[in-house]
Amino acid sequence: MLETGLAFGGDYTPEQWPEEVWAQDIALMRQAGVNLVSLGMFNWALLEPQPGRYTFEWLDRVLDLLHAAGIRVDLGTPSAAPPPWFARLHPGARLVDRAGHALGQGGRQSFCPNSPEYAAASANIADQLGRRYGDHPALSLWHVHNEFAGVNPHCYCDTCAQAFRRWLRAKHGDLAALNAAWGTAFWGQRYGDWAEIEPPRLAPTAVNPAQQLDYLRFSSDTHLANFRRERDVLRGYSPGVPITTNFMIANCKWLDYWKWAAEVDIVANDHYLASEREDRHVELAMCADLTRSLAGGGSWLLMEHSTSAVNWQPRNIAKRPGELARNSMAHVARGADGVLFFQWRASRFGAEKFHSAMLPQAGTGTRIWREVTDLGARLAGLGGLRGTRVAADVAVVWDWEAWWALELEWRPSQDVTFRERVEAYYARLWEAHLTVDFVHPEAGLGRYPLVVVPSLYLTTPATAKNLEAYVTGGGTLLVSYFSGIVDANDTVPGGPYPGALRDLLGVTVEEFLPLRAGERVTLSDGSAADVWAEDVHPAGAETVLSYVDGPAPAGPAVTRNARGRGAAWYVSTRLGGADLARLLERVYADAGLSARPALPATVELVRRPPYVVAINHGTAPAEVRGATVAAGAVLVLRDEP
Ligand code: GLA
Ligand code: ZN
């Protein structure tokens, strides 16, 4: 991380260019205001062309040139791209898919994450880098690997099977405990020997869900162990230099980033716009809020985003004029202390040549270049934002384990997914100008007037206690359907649904009533809902809205349970858009959140005291605290009330 100001720059790949281009790169970086570049993440074969033979001289020259120009370096370890010789030498280190196919080379991250040969070779190249550059004056940050688990989240080879068994022994202790936790009485799956246990390989039918959950936990831990190994090597060479890795919060379901966040010195995220979505800026805001939340509300870094189109979506939509600044500044508004792009100069060859860059194929006489240099100049004037903390209004519970569990096979409806409900609630909060912190289900909640639980299918007893304490202490809680259903082993705790939460919510659910594709139900206030309904019975809660038609006519649809000094709301069906916004107004009133800025819903307003950032996503100018924000523009103001 930089010592002062906001970081601005991108991934720099000098290895793809002749040396005479480097001087031009650096001159242009200075022109654009670049002060930090990421380097080296895919250079293993270029730094160690044969096992044990090293060619660092070219990288020495790159680092020295950058240093002379005052540009700081985020130096990557190349372990995401093992060299071709590695795969040839170690055929047993190949990545194996669920069906047992060994995957090929020619891309990146095609290795078994539990391979001991990979562990040794990647630790060795990290050691070489640490030894050579650990005290280089340009070094500002270490960047371990690139997007752990990006394309090799799970491997099903025999090495992984053995590692899985070791992990299970450490977790469960003995086979009796494992058999109980996994419910192996079902379908006669009882294990009599550790060696009988396999990863959840492709099977003719659904594999034990508790086994699958443990495999997902084990895999997240596997990648984390790989991070730690390299981190600890580097730490020895440069104790004061922070070490990170780039998360991919929007697109990676498979790492439990709550655990990971505790292991990095600064949280860094890559975010790529869901370019075809109308509400892509809302999805961006959600990911930025989640990243900040992983950082405990503190400083974080946007390690990668794009200046315009990417190359890997079905249709790669170019950003519209001004969108680059709105995107970058939205990350800054939500706590980023730096914004970097993938990548500095567009590649001429390889799989990513159609990906936008800071310096596009068409060079400097371009709109992208102008927008990049404008952004660099603007960020240079915003150094005061660095280290300031975002003021959040509401908490939304987010849990990777609950996400995994909810989306295993054989659930009551394939239309119920984790992200869908989180995004639906988040979008309404965004439009209401309420800033969201995401929280782990067992985290302290007392400072939030409102906590939303969009879908927490897997709810541990500790979580239930935490939510209970929050409500009785005076909090307002809103829980969406299909929460509190199973424990950490995907086991129903017993009694009516929603087991873990039924006392707190003051309802029982006799039966899930998923709706047919396209089927809609009407609620007593005229709202239309779809996807899901339930046979809800009040057990202390009052009915706020009921079903008018559908499979539970006259039954409660939305309830409120006064408990202690607070209240717990339950929404048993899928509401969206204006209907959900209307319901939430009642919940906001209950939580004391009625006084909010009178602004069009399309104006994003985030406070980083003593600053406030206003981003106008609409097509008309808007007045914010006495200043005019033009359509499409971004304003940073002092936060004077
Ligand atoms: C990821 C990777 C980069 C690059 C970009 C392209 O974020 O980290 O190396 O492939 O995607 O969008
Ligand atoms: Zn493996």
Report if residue 161 sits inside a domain. Answer: no
Which helix (H) or strand (E) covers residue 140, if one does? strand 139-143
Report if residue 159 sits inside a domain. Answer: no
Query: Do 368 and 360 contact (CB within 8 A), yes or no?
Result: yes
The count of structural domains within the chain is 3
Report if residue 224 sits inside a domain. Answer: no
Query: Ligand 1 in contact with 38 (CB < 6 A)?
Result: no
Query: Ligand 1 in contact with 109 (CB < 6 A)?
Result: no
- Closest ligand (CA of 350): 1
Q: What residue type is assigned to position 499 of the chain?
A: G
Ligand 1 geometric centre to CA of 44 (Å)? 17
Query: Ligand 1 in contact with 608 (CB < 6 A)?
Result: no
Ligand 2 geometric centre to CA of 95 (Å)? 6
Report if residue 52 sits inside a domain. Answer: yes
Q: Which of 304, 380, 393, 376 is nearest to 341 (CA)?
A: 304
Give the number of the atom of ligand 1 that is nearest the alpha carbon of residue 304. Answer: 7
Q: Would you place residue 597 in the very low, low, confident or very high pLDDT band (cuts 50, 70, 90)?
A: confident
Residues 381 and 422 in one domain: no
Query: Do 569 and 450 contact (CB within 8 A), yes or no?
Result: no
Write down the pLDDT at residue 340: 98
306-323 pLDDT, tens digit per residue, is: 999 999 999 999 999 999
Give the number of the atom of ligand 1 that is nearest the alpha carbon of residue 42. Answer: 9
Query: Ligand 1 in contact with 272 (CB < 6 A)?
Result: yes
Residues 319 and 447 in one domain: no
Distances (CA, A) of 112 to 118, 247, 583: 8, 20, 48
Residues 451 and 347 in one domain: no
Report if residue 347 sits inside a domain. Answer: yes
Sole residue written with tokens 């499979």:
551
* Lateral strand order in the sheet of 246-247: 243-244, 139-143, 72-76, 36-39, 7-12, 336-341, 300-304, 267-270, 246-247
Both tokens of 8, joined, read 């601005």
Ligand 1 geometric centre to CA of 202 (Å)? 29
The gap from C-alpha 267 to its chain's centroid, in whole angstroms, comes to: 11
Residues 12 and 147 in one domain: yes
Give the number of the atom of ligand 1 that is nearest the alpha carbon of residue 272. Answer: 12
CATH classification of the domain holding 58: 3.20.20.80
Q: Is the pLDDT of residue 596 over 90?
A: no
Burial string for 23-52 (b: 16+ CB within 10 Å, else e) reads eebbebbeebbbbbbbbbbbbbbbbbeeee
Query: DSSP code of 318?
Result: P
Between CA 221 and CA 114 the distance in angstroms is: 11
- Closest ligand (CA of 218): 2
Residues 147 and 296 in one domain: yes
Report if residue 223 sits inside a domain. Answer: no
Write down the pLDDT at residue 595: 85
473-521 pLDDT, tens digit per residue, is: 999 999 999 999 999 999 999 999 999 999 999 999 999 999 999 999 9
Report if residue 513 sits inside a domain. Answer: yes
Give the number of the atom of ligand 1 that is nearest the alpha carbon of residue 312. Answer: 12
Q: Which of 542, 399, 393, 370 is nearest to 467 (CA)?
A: 399
Nearest-CA residue for ligand 1 atom 3 is 342
Query: Ligand 1 in contact with 252 (CB < 6 A)?
Result: no
Query: Ligand 1 in contact with 310 (CB < 6 A)?
Result: yes
91 burial via Cβ count (<10 Å: 0-12, 13-18, 19+): exposed
Between CA 505 and CA 507 the distance in angstroms is: 6
Domain boundary among 351, 385, 419: 385
In this structure, how many other beta carbons lie within 10 angstroms of the beta carbon of residue 11? 25
Ligand 1 pocket test, pick from 15, 352, 354 with the greatest ligand atom count within 8 Å of Cβ, gives 352
Ligand 1 pocket test, pick from 270, 291, 301, 307 with the greatest ligand atom count within 8 Å of Cβ, gives 270
Ligand 1 geometric centre to CA of 342 (Å)? 6
Both tokens of 327, joined, read 């995107």
222-272 pLDDT, tens digit per residue, is: 999 999 999 999 999 999 999 999 999 988 999 999 999 999 999 999 999
Between CA 326 and CA 392 the distance in angstroms is: 20
- Closest ligand (CA of 163): 2
Residues of the domain holding 25: 7-89+116-154+240-385
Q: Is-above-0.95 flag for pTM? A: yes
Report if residue 215 sits inside a domain. Answer: no
Q: Would you place residue 33 in the very low, low, confident or very high pLDDT band (cuts 50, 70, 90)?
A: very high
When pLDDT is averaged across residues 76-103 and rounded to a whole number, the result is: 98
Write down the pLDDT at residue 250: 81
Residues 460 and 559 in one domain: yes
Residues 267 and 303 in one domain: yes
Query: Ligand 1 in contact with 304 (CB < 6 A)?
Result: yes
Residues 493 and 557 in one domain: yes
- Closest ligand (CA of 252): 1
Task: Tell me if residue 619 falls in helix, strand or coil.
Answer: coil
Query: Do 332 and 613 contact (CB within 8 A), yes or no?
Result: yes
Nearest-CA residue for ligand 1 atom 12 is 310
387-424 pLDDT, tens digit per residue, is: 999 999 999 999 999 999 999 999 999 999 999 999 99
Write down the pLDDT at residue 202: 98
Between CA 16 and CA 348 the distance in angstroms is: 8
320-357 pLDDT, tens digit per residue, is: 999 999 999 999 999 999 999 999 999 999 999 999 99
Ligand 2 geometric centre to CA of 410 (Å)? 27
Residues 369 and 250 in one domain: yes
Between CA 576 and CA 386 the distance in angstroms is: 36
Ligand 1 geometric centre to CA of 578 (Å)? 36
Q: Is the pLDDT of residue 641 over 70?
A: no
Query: Ligand 1 in contact with 156 (CB < 6 A)?
Result: no
Give the number of the atom of ligand 1 that is nearest the alpha carbon of residue 41. Answer: 9
Distances (CA, A) of 523 to 346, 478, 485, 530, 581: 53, 18, 24, 11, 14
435-451 pLDDT, tens digit per residue, is: 999 999 999 999 999 99
Residues 432 and 569 in one domain: yes
DSSP readout, 511-540?
Answer: EE-PPPTT-EEEBTTS-EEES--EEEEESS
Between CA 403 and CA 395 the distance in angstroms is: 17
Name the residues annotated as catalytic: 147, 304
Could you tell me which residues come within 8 angstroms of residue 53 by beta carbon, excluding any fewer than 6 positions away? Answer: none
Ligand 2 geometric centre to CA of 111 (Å)? 8
Cα of first residue to Cα of last residue in the chain, in angstroms, is 32
The gap from C-alpha 89 to its chain's centroid, in whole angstroms, comes to: 35
Distances (CA, A) of 516 to 421, 520, 548: 18, 8, 17
Domain boundary among 385, 403, 433: 385
Phi, psi of 436 (to 5 degrees): -105, 135
Ligand 2 geometric centre to CA of 114 (Å)? 5
How high is the mean pLDDT of the chain? 97
Give the number of the atom of ligand 1 that is nearest the alpha carbon of residue 306. Answer: 12
Identify which has the larger pLDDT, 598 or 525.
525
Domain boundary among 325, 351, 385: 385
Residues 120 and 42 in one domain: yes
- Closest ligand (CA of 215): 2
Between CA 77 and CA 65 the distance in angstroms is: 20
* Helices and strands counted in the chain (H then E): 17, 25
Q: Is the pLDDT of residue 143 over 70?
A: yes
CATH classification of the domain holding 473: 3.40.50.880
Between CA 501 and CA 479 the distance in angstroms is: 9
Residues 307 and 343 in one domain: yes
Q: Is the pLDDT of residue 433 over 80?
A: yes
